[in-house]
Structure 1
């Protein structure tokens, strides 16, 4: 992964979250930090280590220095591992793009003493890994991704909504939530995503494949929905069938984009047939 591109992506991500680089993020109240909040007279019970020598010398009485406390950024990665993510007709699978995005943003999250939490969903019970920093966080992320995606046709249409609700209940401090999914055949997730957006910076990474929007003319074929396991025969030689297929997919993706705009959630659509890292950086900037 090119270091220069990763650095540019780091700046774009941190600007989306806090409008400043790590170390400038503010927490509520006053406490230990580097930015001055106020200088006031010393009162009994104050930490003597906070006494400001210059102010005390000027006024002739002890004064203490209080700073704006700084906090580390916690990034939550909600990763779709349902069976539809194993689809891909270009140079890679959708799961490959999702893995790359998770690793790139995970590395960014661990910079400047940050932490990363992971939640995988869509393959049975969601798997939650609490936030970790440094090398432990990256190891946990790699292990979670090594489990791969679901191989059966089991489909839960509320897996995304349940995962977002779970992140909202656990992530109490403001941070960054990244949802990496193809958003296919998922329902009733908008309310949970909106609740996350009220507290956190949220980025929705939509992974798709070119063949999902354009079916070729190859005669009669049998297709299987990887999410539901439903099988159907389709005559792709008929132009009307291909046009209807493309129209339905365009409508689905348009509805998704409109819903994310309504929720004011940053939307980064990535394709298996493109340089996803370059497009992600451009989209964030």
Structure 2
């Protein structure tokens, strides 16, 4: 099946201003939750020039004389060198949902606007302390990987990918989230931080793939919602179109039973996502298009 075309959603507002002060306060919070963004916080394989002692052994020809340990040499009478565990920088893997439902929004912003903002914030935090950021987009054809990059090129790559938009209506990709998580699991060989940004709608069979990532990485699940998805107003007969499948139905919203059933189904769907993420011990942040998403993100992570 050919990849769906991407579109710039109508009504796009963008994520809005991202205050530098709040970004600074989020820096250490995210670093600590990732269990290793700070130098010396994470053990790495091999030997190198880090700060954590890996081995103390007698000097051999060819060793760096700057690594000679004076105390051990004086104590034993034989020159000894200190070998250290290298410091590894953190790689942040962002999985971003570009499915058609992300173009929905009835309040201040579209869901894709909020997702764009979270992606930029996490990307900017990722490249600090020589870190790297990678982006995996899904929901718009085959998951596309933008490989890890550091410094300014990493942020530029994110901005370029975000400028492509989301998939057109009617192009639902079954298993898109699962496939994206599996691919990250194959390419992310070193422990890092995985941030999944999605509305988690019409996505099944993702728990095993996310659980496999959680076993090796720190994982943050960011769920983006719009309040209109939780209930439908009493405005008479409505023609509704599912952006994922393109299916069109007509409902009589003047009937209380219809509104109640709609709200019940949506509540059960949201509760199921929350329950599965809690079971996997994945940090779960819910953001809404009718609120200050950046403030909510900061409060939820602090």
TM over 0.5: yes
Which of 171, 174, 179 is equivalent to 2:196? 179
Deviations 1:225-267 (A, max 9, x none): 0001110001111111111111110100000000001111111
- Equivalent residue for 1:110? 127
Aligned to 1:84: 101
Q: Evaluate the alpha carbon distance shift between residue 41 and residue 268 of structure 1 in structure 2; reply closer, same or farther with a 3 A threshold.
A: same
| Structure 1 residue aligned with 2:146 | 129
Match for residue 26 of structure 2? 9
Paired residue for 1:43?
60
CA contact (8 A) 1:14 1:22 kept: no
Aligned to 1:279: 296
| Structure 1 residue 23: Cα displacement | 4.5
Task: Please say if 1:217 is aligned against 2:255.
Answer: no
Q: 2:213 aligned to 182, 193, 196, which one? A: 196
CA contact (8 A) 1:23 1:72 kept: no
Where does residue 74 of structure 1 map in the other structure? 91
CA distance in 2, matches of 1:120, 1:36: 39
Equivalenced residues, count: 285
2:175 maps to 1:158: yes
Aligned partner of 1:139 in structure 2 is 156
How far has the Cα of 1:220 moved from its partner? 0.5
Aligned to 1:52: 69
Name the CA distance, whole Å, in 1 between partners of 2:124 and 2:46.
29
How does the TM-score come out when normalised to structure 2?
0.90
- Show the counterpart of 1:207: 224
Tell me if the contact between 1:155 and 1:227 (Cα under 8 Å) persists in the aligned partners: yes
The alignment's C-alpha RMSD in Å is 1.6
Cα distance change, pair 134–196 in 1 and its aligned pair in 2 (3 A)? same
Unaligned runs of 5+ in 1: none
Please state whether the residue corresponding to 1:167 is helix, strand or coil: helix
Which has a greater percent of helix?
1
Question: 2:37·2:129 contact (CA, 8 Å) conserved in 1?
Answer: no
Name the TM-score, length of structure 1 as normaliser.
0.95
